[in-house]
Structure 1
Amino acid sequence: MVHGSVKVTAYALAAVMAFSGMSITADAAAATTVLPSGGVDLTIAKGNTLENITTDVSGTALEIQSILMPEQVEEEEQPSEEETFRNLVIAQVNDYVNVRSIPSEEGEIVGKLYDDSVGTFLAEENGWYQITSGSVTGYVKAEYCVTGEAAVELAKQVGTRIATVTTTTLKVRTEPSLEASVLGLVPIDDDLVVLEETENWVKVDIEEGIGWVSTAYVTLHSEFVQAESKEEEERRLAKEEEERRKAREAAAAKAAQSQTSSGSSTTTYSVGSGSEMGVAVAEYALQFVGNPYVYGGTSLTEGADCSGFVMSVYANFGISLPHSSSADRSQGYAVDGLENAQPGDLICYSGHVALYIGNGQIVHASTAKTGIIVSNADYKKVLAVRRIF
């Protein structure tokens, strides 16, 4: 006897016959069809369908489960990005809010969620939000954060809208039309800051200026600053202290050298203070100012694009970097703001990357028109500062 509810799957008769080791027998005298089903005897009276059957031969209730063919199944609708914003927890504080191990001020501090930084809501307990953000999972005081409907509009303000290129070479046009002239070219996987969105086009910021790209060739998403774990903060502070020590030593060495050497330097651009290796990278890069820009190029003399220039400069110091400005945003470790940049740091922009030389300036392979030049580092919005050494 079969106990409990049994699920029976209704397939087309031909599909049942296809199963290996299973057979269908027809009893002409009883005018019934018997379907073997994993040891459960199921008899269908003539004229009945599977949907008409509610009990098996013993009287046990059967649950009939119809199966839809693939073409009958509608794809589950994915939530819009705006709907996902309701599940964000956004810090609104002067500096940061502690992330704790338990929903109590007695809990261990496991990380920090800085102002306008974002986590994902997991649960609410006694005035605390449980969140996950970056590598941190823990609790933050609800009074210092917003979530739900309040987070939707705020997320649009604190997030950076990014268009990631999905085609080998994307043409950025002067107007939102395939007939418009080409402003510049952007390689696959590069990230561009979105300034405006329409149904089929987005306005983006590239090195050559402001242009438009078709949404058919990019994917759109929003990026947010996330929490920093206690361990990540400790590592960052230790590295920063080490860099400051090296900078003081380098500055002292330069001062001693200037007192004992005669003559003047032929370098047009001065390199700021920083780590010895970072200063060396900046000085080496400045040798190539005036050389050409070539899309996809990596030659410091014959021509390079922005990431090719940075890659080739660092290759001279035995460091391998990707030939991609967006990938450069994850190299080394983060530096908090342009004001803390040192020579040799990577300065990342929308679809562009440069090398910081100090004193608020960068050296970079800019455009085909300008070649490799020196510019002010704040000439447009900085997305990230990354330190390799």
Structure 2
Amino acid sequence: MRRKDFIRRCGMGMAVVAVSAAMLSNNGEVKASSNAKISGLAGISLFVDNAYVQGENRVVKAKLDSVVPVDKVLSSFNSDLVSAFGLDTETLEGVVEDNQTATAPAISADQTSDDSDDGEEENKSADEMESTEDEVKSKYENIGISIADPYVNIRKKAGEDSEIIGKLYKGSKCDILETKGDWVKIESGNAKGFIKAEYLARGFDAEKLIDDYGTKVAEVKVETLNVRFEANTDSRIATQIPAGEKLLVLKQKGDWYEVAVSDGDGDEDKITGWVLADYVKVKIQWKHAITIKEEKAEEARQAAAEAALEAQQAALKAEQDAAAARQQQAAQQAQAQAAAQRQTAQRQRQTQAQTKNTQKAVAQTQTQAKVQTSAAGSGKGQNIANFALNFVGNPYVWGGTSLTRGADCSGFVMSVYANFGIGLNRTSRAQASNGYAVGMGELQPGDLVFYAANGRSISHVAIYIGGGRVVHASTPRTGIIVSSVYHQTPCCARRIVK
């Protein structure tokens, strides 16, 4: 390199460095961050090399030597100048580490297009990173599952002193609308308000609770759905389900879902089957929050059910007391008859006349009692159906017989009839021998409808309430509900009262 070129190059470089140092100095009007200062110095060095080459208008035939690292450039200045840039060793090391480079790259005339490609590649990588980040986000990111035991209060505003407007019980689902510090605004069912964030599992944590608290239900999409014993179309049909009915999904195998058809009276009566996925719509059902208004309404419903039970029990007791009184009266009359016979023993003719009259009176009394009993029984079918409806919404409990605390299908039927003084057998299979048979086209309220989901033996029973509907203790998921009489394929019906 010629001497004058070398002198000119050094002069230009020092002039640019001096001007830039003055601009970047904390004493000047322009204030720059540490990163900006470092980038500026590196850029200056590159600018000098580039400017010199362009000024000479020459073609560079060989690569320039690598640019001196930034920290070495800075070390060439005195300590006062370094202090003027506001840099320290820790900050500098951090910057170098963050940018993943310790030296500025050398530049040659044939590298320009490569730099452009690198920039595009970097943008592409950023897009890919953003896409990957979206993919790993949970679909439950804005959904919460309550982990409060047994519930957490939903408040009108974010604060412990705010009005309570509802309750979110453990395992219930909610939508997260916004976050305010330790509080989140949620919407669940008909309730919208605030709860503490600590009582919610969300995102991937919420997804882990799906099997614990979510219920997969298959809704029938076709007019009549065949439920088969095995997951293939050659299998025997267990039962047929009409459109709109919902079945509890137990598991999936290929294009088939295993569903619960009936819980029946015991483990041997729990019937499952397989349905084709194309013919059902599967959803996850969740429990939701309950508002204070809904809670009071539910308490009123339960109180009404208890009152109906007590009233019917009182009516039954009154009827039983009346029957006992009639029996006692008949016994007293018989005693009076015997006394009359003893008193008239010596008067033969009068005794015979009196005996005939007394026997006639007793016969009339017994006939009247029979008529009264028959009258009390007439219309009982509708009364029984209406009484059974008081307990819709109460739980299904296997082996249970309580109308308010829980019963299984036959326990429910047995307890309903017991409150009218009518005894039935315990299991649905045995109840099919009570009363007498009626056709499905002859059903009246109060009749019992039986189902044989396994195609052979009876496993479920319901009470017909009229209008093509039955009330029954269905499953642990649904409790006591009202369904179509054809929610399964019925096999027979029995009438208990005339």
TM-score by length of 1: 0.53
Structure 2 vs 1, CA of residues 124 and 110 (structure 1 numbering), >3 Å: closer, same or farther?
same
CA apart distance, 1:213: 1.0
Question: Are the counterparts in 2 of residues 101 and 138 from structure 1 also a CA contact under 8 Å?
Answer: yes
Out of 175, 178, 183, the residue aligned to residue 123 of structure 1 is 178
> Corresponding residue for 2:52?
none
Equivalent of 2:205, from 132, 140, 150?
150
Q: CA deviation at 1:181?
A: 2.1
1:334 alignment counterpart:
393
SS of residue paired to 1:104:
coil
Cα separation, partners in 2 of 1:283 and 1:114, compared to 1, 3 Å: farther
Deviation of 1:364 after TM superposition, in Å, equals 4.5
Conserved 8 A contact 2:225-2:241: yes
How far did residue 86 of structure 1 move? Answer: 3.9
Q: 1:356 to 1:100 in 2, by over 3 A?
A: farther
- The 5 A counterparts of 1:101-112 are 101-112=156-167
Residue 170 of structure 1: how far off its partner (Å):
0.9
Question: In structure 2, how many angstroms separate the alpha carbons of the residues matched to 1:250 and 1:189?
Answer: 35
Per-residue CA distance 1:120-174 (angstroms, 9 max, x = gap): 1212211112111111111111122211110001022201111111111111122
Q: Give the conservation status (yes or no) of the 8 Å contact 2:261–2:273.
A: yes
Q: Which runs of 5+ in 2 are unaligned?
A: 1-133, 263-269, 328-376, 417-425, 429-447, 463-471, 484-498
One-letter code of the match for 1:151? A
- CA–CA separation in structure 2 for the residues paired with 1:224 and 1:150: 16
Stretch moving more, 163-172 or 353-362: 353-362
Distance 1:256 1:285, change over 3 A: closer
Quote how far apart the aligned CAs of 1:226 are. 0.5
Superposed displacement of residue 256, structure 1? 3.1
**Displacement of 1:187:** 0.9
Whole-Å separation in 2 of the counterparts to 1:212 and 1:117: 29
Equivalent position amino acid for 2:215 in 1 = T
Q: Paired residue for 1:366, among 451, 469, 484? A: 451
Q: Which one of the candidate residues 358, 377, 383 is aligned to 2:478?
A: 383
Inter-partner Cα distance in structure 2 for 1:318 and 1:247: 8
Percent identity for Structure 1 against Structure 2: 23
Establish whether residue 206 from structure 1 lines up as the match of residue 206 from structure 2. Answer: no
Gaps of at least 5 residues in structure 1 are: 1-78, 265-279, 287-312, 322-330
Select which of 225, 228, 235 maps to 2:290.
Answer: 228
User: CA offsets per residue over residues 322-365 of structure 1, 9 Å max, x none?
Assistant: xxxxxxxxx9973366579638x9989xxxx9965538987652
How much has 1:189 moved relative to structure 2?
1.1
Q: If each structure's strand is expressed as a fraction of its own residues, which one has the higher value?
A: 1
Equivalents in 2 of 1:175, 1:246: separation in Å?
44
User: Aligned pair in 2 of structure 1 residues 256, 222: CA closer, same or farther (>3 Å)?
Assistant: same
What's the offset of the Cα at 1:199?
Answer: 3.3
CA deviation map 1:68-105 (0-9, x unaligned): xxxxxxxxxxx99x954443211112221111111111
CA distance in structure 1 between the aligned counterparts of 2:171 and 2:295, rounded to whole angstroms = 18
| 1:64-143 map, 5 Å | 84-143=139-198
Q: What is the CA RMSD across the aligned residues, in angstroms?
A: 4.4
Q: Deviations over 1:262-295 (max 9, x none)?
A: 499xxxxxxxxxxxxxxx9x96389xxxxxxxxx
Q: Distance in 2 between matches of 1:94 and 1:230?
A: 18
Corresponding residue for residue 284 of structure 1: 381
Is the CA contact (8 Å cut-off) linking 2:138 and 2:203 kept in structure 1? Answer: no
**1:174-253 equivalence runs, <5 A:** 174-207=229-262, 209-253=271-315
Task: State how 1:27-38 maps to structure 2 within 5 Å.
Answer: none
Q: Pick the structure with greater CA Rg.
A: 2
Question: Judging changes above 3 Å, is the alpha-carbon distance between structure 1 residues 201 and 123 closer, same or farther for their aligned structure 2 residues?
Answer: same
- Say whether the 8 Å CA contact 2:229–2:238 is kept in structure 1: yes
| Change over 3 Å in CA distance of 1:355–1:259 after alignment to 2 | closer
C-alpha spacing 1:283/1:226, structure 2 compared with 1 (3 Å): farther
TM-score between both structures, scaled by the size of structure 2: 0.43
The residue type paired with residue 381 of structure 1 is: P
SS in structure 1 of the partner of residue 208 of structure 2 = helix
CA 332–134 in structure 1, closer or farther in 2 if over 3 Å, else same: farther
Aligned residues: 249
| Matching residue's letter, 2:281 | T
Q: Distance in 2 between matches of 1:146 and 1:103?
A: 19
Q: Which structure is higher in helix share?
A: 2
The answer on whether the counterparts of 1:364 and 1:372 sit within 8 Å (CA) in structure 2 is no
CA contact 1:341–1:356 (8 Å) conserved in 2: no
Q: How far apart in 2 are the matches of 1:182 and 1:285?
A: 34
Give 1:221's aligned amino acid.
K
Whether the 8 Å contact between 2:392 and 2:481 is mirrored in structure 1 is: yes
Q: Distance in 2 between matches of 1:361 and 1:182?
A: 24
Q: Secondary structure at the match of 2:226?
A: strand
Indicate how the Cα distance of structure 1 residues 85 and 184 shifts in structure 2: closer, same or farther if over 3 A, else same: farther
Deviates more, 1:378-387 or 1:203-212: 378-387
What's 1:173 paired with? 228
Letter of the structure 1 residue corresponding to residue 181 of structure 2 = N
Amino acid of the structure 2 residue aligned with 1:99 = I
Q: 1:259 deviation in Å?
A: 2.7
